[in-house]
Amino acid sequence: MTKNSKTEGRNYSWGNDSDNQSSSPQNKKVSIVKKSDREIRLNKFIANAGICSRRDADQLIEKGEIKVNGEVVTSLGHKVTTKDEVVYKGKMLSAEKNVYVLLNKPKGFVTTMDDPHAEKKVISLVKNACEERIYPVGRLDKDTTGLLLFTNDGELTTKLTHPSYEKKKIYHVFLDKEFTQDHLEQVKKGIELEDGFIAADAISFVEDGDKREVGIEIHSGKNRIVRRIFAHLGYRVVKLDRVVFAGLTKKNLPRGTWRFLSDKEVGFLKMS
Task: List, by residue number, the catalytic residues.
Answer: 141
User: How many Å apart are CA 26 and CA 221, to the nearest integer?
Assistant: 36
Q: Hey, is 92 helix, strand or coil?
A: strand
- CA gap 140, 167 in Å, rounded: 16
Q: Which spans in 148-224 are helix H?
A: 154-161, 181-189
Closest CA to 226 of 205, 246, 242: 242
Which residues in 83-160 belong to E strands, given as ranges?
A: 86-88, 91-93, 100-105, 135-136, 144-151
Per-position b or e across 4-15, b if 16+ CB within 10 A of its CB = ebeeeeeebebb
Cα torsion 96, 129, 226, 15 to 10°: value is 90
